[in-house]
Amino acid sequence: MPTKDEIMSIITDEQIQFVDLWFTDILGSVKNVTVPSERFNHVVEHGVQIDGSALDGLARIAESDMIIKPDLDTFVILPWQKLDKLTACLICTVQTPQGEDFIGDPRVVLMNVLREAKKMGYTFKTGMEMEFFLFSVDEDGKSMLGHTYDQAGYFDLSEDTTLSVRKTMISTLSAMGIQVESTHSEIGIGQHEIDLAYNSALVSADQMLMARIALKTIARQYNLHCTFMPRPRADLPGSGMHTHQTLHDIETGENLFVDTNHEYGLSEIAQQFLAGQLHHARAMSAILSPLVNSYKRLGTSVEAPVYVSWAHINRAALIRVPSVTSGMETHTRLELRCPDPSSNPYLALAVMLKAGLEGIRQQMALPAPLEETLLTQNRNRMRQVEILPNSLAQAIDILKQDDVILSALGPYISDRYIAAKEQELASYNQVITQWELDHYLRRY
Q: What is the tens place of the pLDDT at every residue in 349-386?
A: 999 999 999 999 999 999 999 876 555 555 556 667 89
Task: Establish if 146 belongs to a structural domain.
Answer: yes
261 has pLDDT over 70: yes
What residues are paired with 30 via a beta bridge? Answer: 24
Q: How confident is the model at residue 62 (pLDDT cuts 50, 70, 90)?
A: low
What does the pLDDT look like over 214-223, one tens digit per residue? Answer: 999 999 999 9
Task: Establish if 438 belongs to a structural domain.
Answer: no
Task: Establish if 394 belongs to a structural domain.
Answer: yes
Task: Establish if 433 belongs to a structural domain.
Answer: no
Same domain as 74, residue 116: no
Check residues 206 and 374 and name the one with the higher pLDDT. Answer: 206
Of 33-37, 182-186, 190-194, 345-349, give the lowest mean pLDDT range. Answer: 182-186
Same domain as 131, residue 14: no
Instruction: Supply the CATH number for residue 147's domain.
Output: 3.30.590.10
What does the pLDDT look like over 376-433, one tens digit per residue? Answer: 555 556 667 899 999 999 999 999 999 999 999 999 999 999 999 999 999 999 999 9
Same domain as 266, residue 344: yes
Which residue, of 43, 68, 101, is where some domain finishes? 101
185 has pLDDT over 90: no
Task: Establish if 440 belongs to a structural domain.
Answer: no
Same domain as 157, residue 13: no
Same domain as 276, residue 164: yes
For position 299, what pLDDT does the model report?
79
Same domain as 153, residue 39: no
Which residue, of 101, 125, 157, is where some domain finishes? 101
Instruction: Supply the CATH number for residue 13's domain.
Output: 3.10.20.70
Same domain as 155, residue 27: no
For position 374, what pLDDT does the model report?
52
Same domain as 228, residue 81: no
For position 408, what pLDDT does the model report?
98
Task: Establish if 441 belongs to a structural domain.
Answer: no
Task: Establish if 430 belongs to a structural domain.
Answer: no
For position 380, what pLDDT does the model report?
56
What does the pLDDT look like over 87-133, one tens digit per residue? Answer: 999 999 999 999 999 999 999 999 999 999 999 999 999 999 999 99
Average pLDDT of the chain is 90
For position 272, what pLDDT does the model report?
98
User: How many domains does the chain divide into?
Assistant: 2
225 has pLDDT over 70: yes
Task: Establish if 378 belongs to a structural domain.
Answer: yes
Task: Give whichever of 34-38, 140-144, 163-167 has the largest mean pLDDT.
Answer: 34-38
Cα distances (angstroms) measured from residue 145 to each of 126, 133, 169: 32, 10, 21
What does the pLDDT look like over 285-340, one tens digit per residue? Answer: 999 999 999 999 997 776 778 999 999 888 788 999 988 777 777 889 999 999 99
Determine the structural domain holding residue 409 and report its residue range: 112-417
Same domain as 187, residue 80: no
Q: What is the distance between the alpha carbons of residues 347 and 107, in angstroms, rounded to a whole number?
A: 8
Q: Model pTM?
A: 0.94
Same domain as 149, residue 53: no
Same domain as 60, residue 194: no
Crossing angle for the helix pair 281-288 and 345-361, to the nearest 10 degrees:
170
Same domain as 88, residue 125: no
Percentage with pLDDT > 90 across the chain:
72
